[in-house]
Amino acid sequence: SSTINETDRIALLAFKAGITKDPFGVLNSWNDSIEFCQWYGVTCGRWHQKVTILDLSSQELSGSISPHIGNLSFLRAMLLLNNSLGHEIPSQVGQLHRLRSLRLDNNSLVGEIPKNISGCSNLVYLFLQVNQLTGEIPRELGSLSKLRIFASSVNNLIGSVPSFIGNLSSLEILHLMTNKLGGSIPQVLGYLTNLRIIGLGQNRLTGTIPSSLLNLSSLANFEVGDNQILGTLPESMGLKLPALEYFSVFENQLEGPIPPSISNSTKLVALKLGSNKLSGSVPSFENLHELLKLRIYNNQLGSGKPGDLSFLCSLTNNTKLMYVQIEVNEFGGVLPKCIGNLSTTLTTLLMQANQISGEIPKVIENLVGLDRLGMTLNYLSGNIPSNLGNLQNLAMLMINSNNLQGTIPYSFGNLTKLILLKLSKNKFQGQIPSHLSNCRSLILLDLSNNNLSGAIPPQLIGLSSLAIILDLSHNHLSGVLPIEVGNLRGLTSLDISNNLLGGEIPDSLGDCTSLTTLRMGGNFFHGSIPQSIKSLGGIEEMDLSCNNLSGQIPEFLMIFHSLKVLNLSYNKFQGMLPREGVFKNATGTSIIGNNELCGGLPEFHLPNCISKGSKRRKINIIISSVSIIFGVLGICLFLALICLFWLKKRANKPVSSSTDDSCPNVSYGTLLKATDGFSSMSLIGVGSFGSVYRGYSRVLHLGCHGALKGFIVECEALKNIRHRNLLKILTVCSSIDYQGNDFKALVYQFMDNGNLERWLHPNPTSSHSNELPKKLNFIRRINIAIDVAFALDYLHHRCHIPIVHCDLKPSNVLLDAQMVAHVGDFGLVKFLLGSSLDVVANQMSSMGLRGTIGYAPPEMFTGLSPTDDRFEDNLTLRSFVTAALPERALEITDHILLLERESRFVPNSPQHWLSESNGIFQECLVM
């Protein structure tokens, strides 16, 4: 007997020798000081000193299992789970004929499952999961008729689910999840009448689900998710599985509808149908009172029409519901108000990527247990209900990519447990509420692509909890980037691009040492890149494009080894472009739009930089050049003095020329011939101090009082003004005629369509009476008025010295071939030296009346415009005319406008159209 006992002691010491690490020292007691039956983890039989149980679970032991373990012939349980044992499972385990429980799960064992494990004929529990076992499941395992649990999940097993498992008539639990098993699920598994749990998920299984399995009335847990299984769910499934508690077929390729009979599986706790191709409407779940998790996401459920979400109302009697995931489907309609009656135990409600419309119902505040609410990518509209801030357990709120508007509720500041807030891609307006800084657990904040304005709250951007993303891009935010940005030491991505931010980049940005992405493009930042940025050693992407940044590109950007994308385009950087680091990558670096940069790789197409040696040579060249230039200038100066002396003598002679050497010289005889002797047939009109002849030339009547002064004023006015709507002067002529009288004329550009007077008021008695009648439609009149307004705006506000025309009338508005208006006749202009148009009335009143009677603006006399209040009861001149001539507007209206208006009415137009149109037309005429 002592010899037999010695065998067990030696076997145990051999096991201890195979252990290389014993952090808790549990094997320290394994020595000769005490009997081995008293060693830690060793249990012996009551009637004999033989080891029956070896339990060293969860001791973090490392090493291998000694082959001598097979000598423990009375061993019934080997419990070595939750350690770090490696190497292969010794084949000697197959010698343990009395072994009932073998637990080697959660170790680092490798190799194949020993074939001779079939020698453990009394084995009931075999746990091998969470190791690194390889190979196929040995066929010999099929002889273990007493086996109830076979768990070998999370390994690297290959092959198929063997059909010999159908021989394990006592099997209750089969766990082979997370391996590399392929093929189809054997039909024989449905014949294991004791089978309660089957887990084959996360493998490479194909084919369909055997109908025998879904008829197994004992089945409580069915897990085949994350495979490539095809087919449909049988209609009677719920009727055949009364004990079903857990049903998971997610991430397969199942089609068809969800069977309405599923509601008969009243013990169902979790229904996971996500990521398939299921379609149709969702049935009622009113009998599933034990349901905790409903996951039907990523299918083709729903029709995009109202009523798709009515199934949610069938869940209102469930008081245990915790998860509802219906995202990525085709559900339409509005959120039913019954959603507020769901259980307060609900923690997750995800509805993203559907076609849900309407407003967020206010009753959602009843779901006080919610910690995750997702409604991204829908068609939700209206304002966010402010009572959403009452969901104080909310940790994740995702309602981005909708049509929501209004302002971000200040009540969001009450969501102190919030860690993720996504409101991007909506139409939110107003300022970012500073109360968001109360969300001190926030690690991700995305408010991008909205219409937010105002400054960035310093309290928010200084929220040190932000550790993943802060995205405020594509808004209308203004002001500066607060220095509190330096508090974001844990932030990895900062995006404030495409806003209206300005000022200099704060030095404190360099304190954000965890940044990997920095986007600040599309703003108005100026100044240089601060030296503190060199602290951002982990940066991978930096975009500072489209700003007003200047100075040299810092050399420290070259030493950012992680930097892969750098965009500095469209700024004002200058100097030499570095050639190392990210600047070696012309595809990852953009510097276009910086015209003062030089050097760099040839791929950047920048000019060469001037070296110091080149600068010296250039200075020598400049000195030599300057000497030559001064010599030439001395000669030119001498020649210039001679020319000036000659010109002075020439100036004393009477000449007939234009006001500028570049103007063509025109003599009196040339003008006489061009106007046919200044005949009446060439006469176009008579101005303030002269007559206008076809050509165009305007001959001054020097006998008229003020004519000579008007000539000088007009020359002075036309000398420095240029505008497309002002009449262009070509040259002037100052000479004597054939009778010895002084003759002065201005020669203008020819205007093909004459003046506006002849278009508005043709004179049948004039020399041009043989011309066809001229018609100006309403659009052309508007365009002419706009052209004249542009000309006056130029004279009043755009000239170096403001000018008032003082004689604006139709005969002084000339029309070219394209009917573009040009204002002419500047003989009466007034220069407002040191004055503004606001005081022109005082000047005019001291000068007396100027211009043509009937066209002088009333401002010259009163200082008031036609829209100013000058009558009692706030009655303006415009409203006075409107009231005075309501019935006579059509009598004084140009008949051409009336004909044009009538031509736009089709025959048999309704009478109420005509009457309404008459009212609108008359109202416009007196405006």
pLDDT in tens, 845-867: 444 445 555 455 555 555 555 55
Q: ∠ CA 124-128-134 to the nearest 5 degrees?
A: 130
More confident residue, 218 or 912: 218
Q: Which residues in 182-197 are b (16+ Cβ under 10 Å) and which e?
A: eeebbebbbebeebbb
Distance in angstroms (rounded) separating the CA atoms of residues 759 and 755: 7
Task: Please provide the average confidence, as pLDDT, over all residues in the chain.
Answer: 86
The predicted pLDDT at position 24 comes to 96
pLDDT attached to residue 590 = 94
State how far the alpha carbon of 199 is from the alpha carbons of 81, 220, 246, in Å: 20, 11, 11
Q: How confident is the model at residue 912 (pLDDT cuts 50, 70, 90)?
A: low
Which whole number is the average pLDDT over 106-130? 97
Residues 6+ apart with CB under 8 A from 28: 22
Q: What is the DSSP letter of 794?
A: I
Can you give the pLDDT at residue 181? 98
As a whole number, mean pLDDT of residues 494-502 equals 98
CATH fold match for the domains 466-622 and 668-865 = no
CA distance 90 to 64: 9
- Whether 448 shows a pLDDT value over 70: the answer reads yes
The sign of the torsion formed by the CA atoms of 524, 527, 531, 532 equals negative
User: Per-residue pLDDT for 668 more than 90?
Assistant: no
Question: Which residues contact residue 579 at a Cβ distance below 8 angstroms, ignoring those fewer than 6 apart?
Answer: 599, 600, 601
Q: What is the pLDDT of residue 712?
A: 67
Query: Lowest-confidence range among 166-170, 324-328, 495-499?
Result: 166-170
**Do 132 and 108 form a contact (C-beta atoms < 8 A)?**
yes
On whether the CB atoms of residues 303 and 311 are closer than 8 A, the answer is no
Question: Do 200 and 137 contact (CB within 8 A), yes or no?
Answer: no
pLDDT of residue 922: 61
User: For residue 893, which of 923, 856, 858, 853 has the smallest C-alpha distance?
Assistant: 923
pLDDT digits (tens, 9 = 90+) for 16-60: 999 999 999 999 999 999 999 999 999 999 888 899 999 999 999
* Amino acid of residue 74: F
Per-residue pLDDT reduced to its tens digit, 252-263: 999 999 999 999
What is the pLDDT at residue 745? 81
Model pLDDT, residue 847? 47
Which three-class secondary structure state does DSSP give residue 3? helix
Structurally, at CATH architecture level, domain 466-622 sits in Alpha-Beta Horseshoe (3.80)
pLDDT reported for residue 198: 98
Q: How confident is the model at residue 640 (pLDDT cuts 50, 70, 90)?
A: confident
Residue 564 region by backbone torsions, left for phi larger than 0, else alpha for psi between -120 and 50, else beta: alpha
77 bridge partner residues: 53, 101
Report which of 282, 305, 294, 299 is spatially closest to residue 355, judged by C-alpha positions.
305
The average pLDDT across 738-763 equals: 80
Average pLDDT rounded to a whole number, residues 736-752: 79
645 pLDDT band (50/70/90 cuts)? confident
Domain extent listing, the chain: 466-622, 668-865, 866-927
Q: With contact defined as beta carbons under 8 Å apart, do 275 and 253 qualify? A: no
CB 45 within 8 A of CB 87: no
Q: Is the pLDDT of residue 187 over 90?
A: yes
pLDDT at 880 over 70: no
- What CA–CA distance (Å, rounded) separates 718 from 791? 13
Structural domain 668-865, CATH architecture = Orthogonal Bundle (1.10)
H or E, element range at 495 = strand 493-495
What does the pLDDT average to over 888-906? Answer: 60
From 356, 349, 289, select the one nearest 316 (Cα to Cα): 289
pLDDT at 751: 85
Torsion over CA: 766, 771, 772, 773 (sign): negative
What is the DSSP code (8-state) at residue 259?
P
Cβ burial of 827 (10 Å; 0-12, 13-18, 19+) is: buried
Residues 6+ apart with CB under 8 A from 844: 830, 850, 859, 860, 861
Determine the pLDDT at residue 30.
96
Residue range 787-804: average pLDDT?
85
pLDDT range class, residue 99, cuts 50, 70, 90: very high
Least confident stretch, 205-219, 307-321, 723-737: 723-737
pLDDT at position 841: 46
Q: How many CB atoms lie within 10 A of CB 223?
A: 21
Give the model confidence (pLDDT) of 526-567 as tens digits: 999 999 999 999 999 999 999 999 999 999 999 999 999 999
| pLDDT attached to residue 894 | 62
| pLDDT at residue 822 greater than cutoff 50 | yes
Mean pLDDT for 876-895 is 56
Closest to 721 measured CA to CA, from 812, 817, 818, 792 = 792
653 — pLDDT class (breaks 50, 70, 90) = very low
Helices (H), 302-427: none
For 149-169, the pLDDT digits (tens) are 999 999 999 999 999 999 999
> Among 660, 659, 656, 651, which residue's Cα sits nearest to residue 671?
656
Task: Enter the DSSP assignment of 755.
Answer: B
DSSP helix/strand/coil, 411: helix
Q: Where are the beta strands (DSSP E) in 145-194?
A: 149-151, 173-175, 182-184
Q: Which is more confident, 626 or 64?
A: 64
Q: 741 versus 439: which is more confidently predicted? A: 439
The per-residue pLDDT for 650 is: 55
807 is catalytic: yes
Rg for the chain (alpha carbons), in Å?
Answer: 48
Confidence of residue 777 (pLDDT cuts 50, 70, 90): confident
More confident residue, 906 or 91: 91
Q: In Å, how far are 291, 297, 310 from 316, measured between CA atoms?
A: 11, 20, 11
Top-confidence residue, 916 or 72: 72
Average pLDDT over every residue of 297-314: 97
pLDDT band at residue 88 using 50, 70 and 90 as cut-offs: very high
* pLDDT tens, position by position, 592-609: 999 999 998 888 889 998
Token code pair at residue 291: 């349901």
366 against 714, higher pLDDT: 366
Active-site annotation holder among 8, 543, 807, 825: 807
Higher pLDDT, 195 or 702: 195
Q: What is the pLDDT of residue 902?
A: 62
Higher-confidence residue of 717 and 525: namely: 525
Contact between 336 and 360 under an 8 Å Cβ cutoff? The reply is no
User: How deeply is 351 buried, as exposed, middle or buried, from its count of CB atoms within 10 A (0-12, 13-18, 19+)?
Assistant: buried
Lowest mean pLDDT among 145-149, 321-325, 656-660: 656-660
Determine the length of the chain. 927
Detail the DSSP E strand segments found in 621-707.
683-686, 690-693, 697-700
pLDDT of 728: 81
Residue 675's pLDDT is: 74
Q: Does 727 have pLDDT greater than 80? A: yes
pLDDT of residue 711: 66
